[in-house]
Structure 1
Amino acid sequence: MHAWPASEVPALPGKGRDLQIHDTATQGTITLDPGPVARIYVCGITPYDATHIGHAATYNAFDLVQRVWLDNKRQVHYVQNVTDVDDPLLERALRDGQDWTELAERETALFREDMTALRMLPPQHYIGAVEAIPGIVPLVERLRDAGAAYELEGDVYFSVESDPHFGGVSNLDAAAMRLLSAERGGDPDRAGKKNPLDPMLWMAARPGEPSWDGGSLGRGRPGWHIECVAIALDHLGMGFDIQGGGSDLAFPHHEMGASHAQALTGEFPMAKAYVHAGMVALHGEKMSKSKGNLVFVSALRRAGVDPAAIRLALLSHHYRANWEWTDAVLAEAVTRLERWRAAVSRPDGVPADALVEEVREALSRDLDAPAALAAVDRWVELQLASDETDESAPGLVSRTVDALLGVAL
C-alpha cells in the first residue's frame, strides 16, 4: 500500500534540540535520544470514515515529532498501518450495502488526500492489515506453540498472564481494563476464556465474512492488536522510540500490542515511549464515528477552508489536551493565518534568529505547539508595527513555520 507525497521540509540554520516527551507508561516526561535514525510507529485509521478532526489532531502531533527529529539532523523511520479489515468496517459496509474492500479503498484514498493537504509527512511504510496477514500467521502460531496463546472454539486468544509486564503501558487496574475492553472491541464476558482480558489473536472464519488461509490456525482473520505488532516488528524491531496514537488506544490496543511483542521476543519494552494524543469533542461529546458527531477535514476543504488554517487550529491546542472543536476555534486560526501571511509578505523586517530558537525550544518541551504559536504571534506583532530592515527575516520566519509547524505561508 502506498502512502502520500511528502512536502519538502526546509533546512534551518543551526540544529534542533532533543525531544522531551510525556510517556504514558512511566507517567512522566522522558528525553529521547534515538541515535542517527529515530523509529516511530503510529496506529492508523480503520477506513470506514476518514478523516475527522480527531484523526487530524492525532496525526498532527506525530508529524511534529518527525519535524523535531528532522530539525535535529536525524533520519526518521516512520511506520503506519491501515486496519483495512475489522468489525466496524464490515458493519458499515453491510449497513450501506457496499463492498467492504471498495469502502476501505475509497476512505483510505480520501485520508491520503487530507494528509497531503494538511502537509503531514508520510510514513516510509504504510501497511494494510490484509497485506500483513502472511506475517501475522506465523506470530500467532509461535505464541500458541510457546503456551502464550490458546484455542477456544476455533478462535485463538492471547494469554495476558504470559507477559509479566502486562498492565505497564496503561497503568489501569483490572476492573478498569475490563470495562474498557468491553467498550473497545474486546469480549471480556465470553465463556471459556482463561482471563476475561485475553484478546483475540485469530478469529476463525465466520459465515459471510472475509477470511484468509491461516495455515495451522485454519481460515480466519487477525485480531486487531497482533496486526500492528507484526508490522512494527517487521519494519522497526523491538525497542523503537515511540508508539503513538490517540489516548483511547492506550488500553487495550497499545497495552495488548506491547504484551504480544514482549511475549514473542522475550525483550522489554516494545517501545521506549508510549505517546498519546488527547480527544477532540464536538457539542460537548468526544468526536467519534459511533456517535456520528464528526467534523471532516475533506468537508472543511470543500467549503473553502485553507488547510493551513485547519492545521493552525490543531496546533493551538497542546497535543495531550482534550479540547472542543468550535466555529470560534477555526475563525481564530483563519485570522492568525492572515496576520502571519501579511507579516512575512513584507520585503524586510524584524530579525528572527531568536524566534527560530523559541519555536525549537517550545516543541522540544513535549511538543508545546501553543507556546510555539505564541512566539510567532509576538514576532508578527513586532513585524507589523516595525520599520526595521532585516531582509532575511520574513523568509526565515516562513521557513521556520513550514519546517517545524508544517504550515505553508
Structure 2
Amino acid sequence: MTPAARRVQRIYLTLLLGNTLAASFIWGINTLFLLDAGLSNFEAFAANAFFTAGMVIFEIPTGVVADTVGRKASYLLGTITLSVTTALYWLLWLWQAPFVWWAIVSVLLGLGFTFFSGAVEAWLVDALTATGYTGSLEAVFGRGLVVAGIAMFAGSVLGGVIAQATNLGVPFLIRAAVLVAMFVFAFVVMRDLGFTPDRSAGPITATRNVLTQSIEHGLRKRSVRYVILSAPFAGGVGIYAFYALQPYLLELYGDPSAYSIAGLAAAALSLAQIAGGVLAPRIRALFVRRTTAVIGASVASIAVLIVLGVNRSFWFALVLLVVWGFVFAVATPVRQAYLNDMIPSKQRATVLSFDSLFGSLGGVFIQPGLGRAADLGGYGTSLVIGGIVEVIGVPFLLASRRQRDPADSKTAAADAAAPSSDTA
C-alpha cells in the first residue's frame, strides 16, 4: 500500500470514528429520550420517520453538492447541520415541545445526514484509486466497521452512564460538540482526490442531471436496481429494530429507568460490529459470490428478529442482539463493495445516495407502522412483524444475483472490470 493510500484510509477511519462517536452518544437512549419528552411510541417512531423522510427529500439535492461542489464540501455541510439540529432536539426535549416541532427538526436532521450519504464513501473509493491502492474494498470497509464499532462501544456506554448520572439531554449536547470538532478536522485534512467536481451546470440543471444519472446507472442497470429495491425493507426494519430494542430490553430487564442498561445493549451491538468488521473479508472469502454472503445475512437477520420478538428473557435477548449486529456487520462491507464495483466513478456518489434514498424511504413508512404495532401489541409483536416485512427484500437480492454481474465475484478493487451493460 502506498503512503498516500494509507493516509487516505487513516482520514476515512478518523471521520468514521468521530461521526460514530458523536452519533452513538444518543443511540442507546434516543427512543427513551423521545418518550421522556412526552411522545407516544407511535409519535416517537413517527419522528424517526420524519427524519428518514428528510433524507428522502434532500438525498438528490445534496447529492448535487457532492458531485458538483465536492465531497469535502458535502461532508462539512453535514457536520455543521447535524450539530445545530442536535442542539435543537435538546431544546425541544427541554421545552416538552408538541409533536409538530419534533417533525420539523427531524426533517432537518435528515438533511444533515444526506450530506454524508454516498459522499464520504465515494471520496474514499476515488481517493484510494487515485493513490494506487490495490487491495480489496471489503478489507477497507471492514476496518471501517471495526473503528465504528469501537467508537459505538465507547459512545453508547458513556451516553447511557452520563444520562443515568445527569439526564437524558446531556448526551445530545456532547454529540453536538463532537460534530463541531469533526468539522474542524475535515476542514484541515480532507482533499478531493481522483475526482474533479463538475460546476458547469446550474443547481436546477445539476439536480435534474443527478436524478437522470441515478436512474441510468442505478435503476436501469438490473444488478444494481435489485440491490437498491431491497434497501427499503432491510433499512426500514433495521432502523426501527435498533431503536425499539432500547425500551424493549429495559422492559425485559424490569427497570424502565435503567438508562445504563440501554447503553450496555448498544455497546454489545458495537462489539458484534467490531467482530463482524474483522471477520467480514474472511467470511466473504468462503463464498464464490458476494450475493451469497448478503442473502445469507438477510435470512439470519430475519430469523433473529422473529426469535427476539417471542423471547422473554433479557439475557437471551442480549445474545440475540449480538448475533443480529454481527450478521449486519458482515453483510455491510460486502454489499458496499458489490455496489461500488458496479458503479462508474463519476456517478458513484450519485448512485450511492440514490441507494441511501431508497433505504430511507422504507423508514418513512415502516417505522411508524411498526411503532403503532408496538402501541397495540407490544415491542415483541412489532419485531416479529418487522422480520416478516424484511423477507420482502430477499427476492430482490436473489434477482440481482441472477444477473451474474462480474462484481458479484470480485475480491479486489484492482480487478475491477468495466461495468456490465445489463440494462432494461
The TM-score with structure 2 as length reference comes to 0.24
- Of structures 1 and 2, the one with the larger relative CO (CA 8 A, separation 6+) is 2
Structure with bigger helix share is: 2
Higher CA-based Rg: 1
Structure with bigger strand share is: 1
The TM-score with structure 1 as length reference comes to 0.25
